Amino acid sequence: MPRGWGITILTAAALWMSTTAADAQPPEPAYLLVDAESGTVLEAENATHPWYPASLTKVMTAYMVFLAIEKGWLTLDEKVTVSAKAATQPPTKLGLRTGQEVRVALLLEAMIVRSANDAAVTLAEAVSGSEEHFAISMTRQARKLGMSQSFFRNASGLPHAGQVTTARDLAILARALIRDYPAHFHLFSKSHVSISGLGGGSTNGWMRAYPGAEGIKTGFTCGSGYNLLAAATRNGRRLIAIVLGGRTGGERNAMATQLMDSGFAMSAEQASGAFRLSALRGQARSDVPYVLADGRCPVAPSPGSEVLAQGTLPGWGLVFGSFTDREVARATIEGNQAALKEVISQGRPAIIAKRRDVPPSYSALLVGLQEADAGQACRHLQELGVYCLAIPPKLLNNPHTLWR
């Protein structure tokens, strides 16, 4: 099976930089509600405004994997190998190890249910040999589906200035997914995934709360805000709702609920007067709402996050990943400290609880480092195939950074 690998020293700045103005402000959220069978648009606002998809990207990645299975390039039971590049992806991730062999079916579940970036890259490499080639194929397939405003640069949805979509295009994708691969659609409603003791519950809290919900996927970066692509069925009628740019996870979920309730309350006569999805038109623009700039993030975090480490985290920090078990996080820190004992002599363990995850997950860190030591330590760990992200002080204590 083709595979690619690459090791890059990742700093928080690399995840936060963009080519847009540093003072860009997020626009009003975009939303769209359509009838899944007919494509009738029931409600729409900013539906053709370009947006950063965040982890909604993984819906397109899943479609591409289903297409590869259909063509016979992969099978669900086939085991593929996790590359160094995949294993060192930033969170959200499972913590897959370099060289680990995992079934395609489990990787799909991990990517969809837990939004695992390491699983997404592993699947991309399995299909196309490299994530870069996979992204080219994603954009090409998007055009075939009619997604005229979408451009993909990676398989996970991690921030990239060239990766954009629209609510309209996401509705087209959801309809294509349901139409072309109904046998796989149930994956988007799974509530839990586990691979070799790694995993946890679905990141899609809206799905658990809304009667008739069928998934599909949530997403968040500071540049995108809180996104949701959702499907629900009542009385034999399926609706698709898209919300892009919610200020919090709660706001996003409330908007999706309001859209769905409004749609299901419409009579057949009311819905018949609406226009079709194909009538929505828009031109790709450069002023997408990318608001990640110099450590600031105007998008509020979901409530309930808690810092277990006491006080301000000092110095530079090293992030070793996110884990569903606090003791696993602690053991990871201890193991990496042992691996670094000949490289650095300083460093204080810290564990950050991410209560918005269900069940909670825990980020494992080593803090109190000098910049040079942090860089040297990360390089050493990555040469060993261990995930490491170096974080400068300004972003280490910012509650809105991506690693949190």
Active site residues: 55, 58, 115
Question: What distance in Å separates the CA atoms of residue 138 and residue 144, rounded to the nearest whole number?
Answer: 10
User: CA angle, corner 245, sides to 242 and 246, nearest 5?
Assistant: 90
The answer to whether 232 and 207 have CB atoms below 8 angstroms apart is: no
Give me the sign of the Cα torsion angle 88, 18, 146, 113.
positive
Q: Which of 196, 209, 253 is nearest to 228 (CA)?
A: 253
Q: Which of 237, 214, 3 is nearest to 98 (CA)?
A: 3
Q: Which amino acid is at 156?
A: S
Question: What distance in Å separates the CA atoms of residue 325 and residue 331, rounded to the nearest whole number?
Answer: 10
Q: Which of 323, 320, 354 is nearest to 337 (CA)?
A: 320
Q: Which of 12, 57, 48 is nearest to 27 (CA)?
A: 48
| Structural element, H or E, at residue 311 | none
Tokens for 334, please give them. 């201890």
Q: Which of 174, 175, 166 is nearest to 148 (CA)?
A: 166
The end-to-end CA distance of the chain, in Å, is 33
Tokens for 81, please give them. 């190998």
The answer to whether 314 and 307 have CB atoms below 8 angstroms apart is: no
DSSP 8-state assignment for residue 340: T
CB atoms within 10 A of CB 28: 10
